[in-house]
């Protein structure tokens, strides 16, 4: 049996046929429509009328073609001659008086073009000869009306037909079915949410698989506990949080925490991305938000997870100037605000959201009642990194000599995703080397690759061996200068590795330090440590001077010198230090510790220091750098023997690890020299 949509389209086609038939036969449209039935198919009278209209149109077209082919065209003088000889039987003037049609004695028709001013004279001649004449009636515009009607109805008919075919192809049913216009694949489906609801989500992730963020995990465990055991909280008057915002750097495990919540909550879970609600058409995103929350409320209690919510939750513009206030993103944000805590409320739905740009979110979105909890998910500390490494080493065979604590010490600043990638790279290297277990060498190789890039051959095929060896020796002196200066500076970061193997990031070699975990967590650096950092940074340049002299030093220390400039300038202009604190009361120096510069100076911002103060800042910066340079030069000169031992070992094996370097320092440095260096610092 035909569906309702099929009957509607058939009826529309029937009415269109009746209109065409009425126009073609010059009959009122209502008279032709009376022959149509209200059913699905056309009646016999309607089909006859439609066929008669087509036949009439064909007859008119054929007669016009035949009419144009008969007789020949006459000039006005020729027409008057024939009239004078009584050769014209009948004349018909056109309505616009610009031509006439003459019928001769043989029945042939002749067209004559005339001027409107000649009509009175021609009529006078026809009356003299008693030739009947008439004027053609003005066209009633039936043909033009039919063409206009067809043109107006063409686009709607094509559009309806296309939508009908699209709906039939998507669902095979009517327009109201799941595959119709309102279904997911139909034209109106873009207004529906693209997210699917998981009644029993099977993510394969639980809270046991999440490590390194215990405080964040505890916050979400309470949400799961509230859903599974609400009486525990309601008896003391506690309410479930409406929303939980996870914010932190990329790769710290925000999405992993959401998957763990989905795996353990035991309630329906909806996962989506903020970019799914950003479309070209205004209103589409808001409609999807309404559909999303409607599905969640039908299946409450339910959890909605919106990843990268900053795509739609950014701070709204004020509307001043050229800024618009009614775009798609802001309408979507307004709908989220209403759904989370609007007039109708939001019961039984908990919203989890993740972003690494919490500072750009709208304040209305972050207020209590919408996102009651803001859970920071920061980079893990050393203990957290060890726990994360244990999780990612469950399915990997490790050699007994692998110390996860040592790996965590080397991987400072690594996120959870970075640690997972680290162990995967180590496993790939072990497979490449055809090993059955992963040793510390593969993990060390992976750390270097992630931190400083891939290794490059020390000597290229086109290079001269002597030139390549000289370059290696110079790089070895440079790196030895950094390492020895750091080793002879009490309280400075330990040296973990020295290598002269070039890397793809452009470095000819590098010295790897192990920063203090406490210093990194607190972010507080002493004046003594900052001065030591200047001396260690200058160690490469000073070592080159000691090796080849000032005439042959290279630009290899360019990056180190930039770091020295930036650090020394910030020490004076931002952190209030002086090159010599004992001169604080001197009138020629900066007396009070003032931050004369902002950490990030905005372009076009007004100057915060006068010209005289700027000159004092420059003078103190120069003194600070000169003191660090003098101390570094003296320390490395006094320990040239240790420098030469480290250089020889680097040229021979290209890499020196922490244990071997410490033995060199102990063997070739006396306690007096060590203490003297500490006193000078």
Catalytic (active-site) positions: 479
In 3D, which of 247, 264, 555 has the Cα closest to residue 379?
Answer: 247
Query: Which residue shows structure tokens 């963020």?
Result: 213
Tell me the β-bridge partners of 245: 353, 374
In 3D, which of 489, 494, 490, 536 has the Cα closest to residue 514?
Answer: 494
Q: Cβ(318)–Cβ(363) under 8 Å?
A: no
Return the structure tokens found at 409.
């010490």
Cβ-based neighbour number of residue 170 at 10 Å: 19
Which ranges in 282-381 belong to alpha helices (H)?
284-298, 328-341, 363-366
Cα–Cα distance measured from residue 568 to residue 563, given in angstroms and rounded to the nearest whole number: 8
Tell me the β-bridge partners of 524: none
Q: Kindly give the interhelix angle for 640-653 and 465-487, rounded to the nearest 10 degrees.
A: 130
- At residue 246, φ and ψ (nearest 5 deg) are -95, 120
Residue 669: strand, helix, or coil: coil
Tell me the β-bridge partners of 375: 246
Instruction: Write a three-state SS string for 61-97.
Output: HHHHHHHHHCCCCECHHHHHHHHHCCCEEEEEECCCC
Query: Which residue shows structure tokens 């909605």?
Result: 304
Which ranges in 367-410 belong to alpha helices (H)?
382-392, 404-410
Burial class (CB in 10 A: 0-12, 13-18, 19+), 401: exposed
Cα 320 from chain centroid? 27
**DSSP track, 188-229:** GGGGS----EESS---S--GGG--S-HHHHHHHHHHHHHHH-
Return the structure tokens found at 611.
């010209």
The angle formed by the CA atoms of residues 194, 200 and 201, to the nearest 5 degrees, is 60
Residue 509: strand, helix, or coil: coil
Q: Kindly give the interhelix angle for 465-487 and 658-668, rounded to the nearest 10 degrees.
A: 70
Tell me the β-bridge partners of 511: 498
Burial class (CB in 10 A: 0-12, 13-18, 19+), 457: exposed
Residue 110: strand, helix, or coil: strand
Distances (CA, A) of 464 to 371, 448, 461, 573, 647: 65, 28, 8, 48, 21
Query: Which residue shows structure tokens 């290696």?
Result: 472
Cα–Cα distance measured from residue 34 to residue 46, given in angstroms and rounded to the nearest whole number: 9
Cα–Cα distance measured from residue 186 to residue 286, given in angstroms and rounded to the nearest whole number: 19
Cβ-based neighbour number of residue 485 at 10 Å: 28
The angle formed by the CA atoms of residues 475, 476 and 478, to the nearest 5 degrees, is 65
């Amino acid at each position: 049996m035909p569906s309702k949509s099929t009957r509607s389209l058939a009826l529309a086609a029937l009415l269109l046929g009746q209109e065409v038939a009425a126009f073609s036969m010059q009959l009122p449209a209502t008279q032709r429509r009376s022959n149509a039935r209200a059913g699905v198919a056309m009646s016999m009278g309607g089909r006859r009328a439609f066929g008669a209209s087509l036949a009439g149109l064909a007859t008119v077209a054929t007669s016009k073609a035949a009419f144009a082919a008969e007789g020949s065209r006459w000039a006005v003088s020729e027409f008057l001659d024939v009239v004078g000889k009584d050769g014209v039987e009948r004349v018909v003037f056109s309505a616009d008086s610009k031509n006439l049609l003459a019928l001769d004695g043989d029945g042939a028709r002749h067209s004559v073009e005339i001027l409107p001013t000649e009509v009175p004279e021609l009529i006078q001649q026809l009356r003299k000869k008693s030739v009947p004449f008439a004027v053609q009636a003005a066209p009633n515009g039936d043909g033009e009306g039919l063409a206009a009607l067809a043109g107006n109805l063409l686009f709607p008919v094509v559009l309806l037909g296309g939508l009908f075919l699209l709906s039939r192809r998507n669902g095979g049913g009517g327009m109201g079915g799941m595959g119709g216009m309102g279904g997911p694949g139909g034209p109106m489906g873009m207004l529906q949410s693209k997210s699917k609801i998981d009644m029993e989500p099977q993510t394969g992730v639980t809270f046991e698989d999440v490590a390194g963020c215990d405080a964040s995990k505890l916050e979400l465990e309470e949400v799961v506990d509230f859903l599974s055991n609400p009486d525990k909280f309601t008896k003391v008057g506690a309410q479930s949080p409406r929303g939980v915002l996870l914010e932190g750097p990329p790769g710290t495990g925000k999405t992993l925490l959401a998957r763990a919540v989905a795996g353990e909550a035991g309630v329906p879970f909806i996962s989506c991305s903020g970019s799914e609600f950003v479309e070209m058409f205004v209103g589409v995103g808001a409609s999807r938000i309404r559909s999303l929350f409607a599905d969640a409320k039908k299946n409450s209690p339910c959890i909605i997870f919106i990843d990268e919510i900053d795509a739609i939750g950014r701070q709204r513009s004020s509307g001043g100037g050229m800024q618009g206030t009614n775009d798609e993103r802001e309408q979507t944000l307004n709908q989220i605000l209403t759904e989370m805590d609007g007039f109708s409320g939001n019961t039984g739905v908990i919203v989890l959201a993740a972003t690494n740009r919490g500072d750009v979110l709208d304040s209305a979105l972050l207020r209590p009642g919408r996102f009651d909890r803001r859970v920071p998910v920061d980079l893990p500390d050393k203990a957290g990194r060890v726990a994360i490494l244990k999780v990612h080493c469950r399915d990997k065979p490790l050699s007994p000599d692998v110390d996860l604590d040592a790996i965590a010490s080397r991987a400072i600043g690594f996120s959870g995703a970075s640690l997972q990638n680290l162990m995967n790279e180590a496993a790939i290297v072990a497979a490449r080397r055809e090993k059955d277990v992963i040793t510390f060498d593969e993990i060390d190789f992976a750390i270097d690759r992630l931190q400083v890039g891939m290794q490059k051959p020390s000597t290229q095929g086109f290079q001269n061996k002597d030139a390549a060896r000289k370059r290696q020796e110079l790089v070895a002196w440079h790196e030895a200068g950094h390492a020895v200066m750091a080793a002879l500076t009490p309280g400075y970061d330990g040296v973990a590795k020295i290598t002269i193997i070039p890397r793809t990031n452009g470095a000819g070699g590098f010295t790897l330090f192990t920063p203090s975990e406490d210093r990194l967590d607190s972010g507080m650096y002493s004046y003594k440590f900052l001065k030591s950092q200047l001396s260690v940074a200058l160690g490469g340049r000073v070592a080159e001077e000691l090796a080849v002299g000032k005439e042959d030093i290279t630009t290899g220390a360019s990056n180190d010198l930039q770091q020295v400039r930036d650090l020394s300038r910030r020490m004076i202009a931002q952190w209030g230090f002086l090159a010599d604190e004992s001169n604080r009361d001197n009138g020629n120096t900066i007396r009070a510790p003032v931050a004369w510069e902002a950490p990030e100076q905005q372009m076009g911002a007004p100057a915060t220091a006068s010209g005289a103060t700027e000159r004092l800042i420059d003078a103190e910066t120069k003194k600070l750098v000169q003191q660090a340079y003098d101390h570094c030069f003296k320390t490395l000169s006094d320990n040239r023997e240790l420098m030469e031992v480290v250089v020889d070992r680097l040229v021979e094996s290209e890499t020196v690890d922490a244990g071997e370097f410490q033995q060199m320092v102990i063997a070739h440095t006396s306690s007096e020299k060590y203490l003297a260096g500490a006193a000078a610092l």
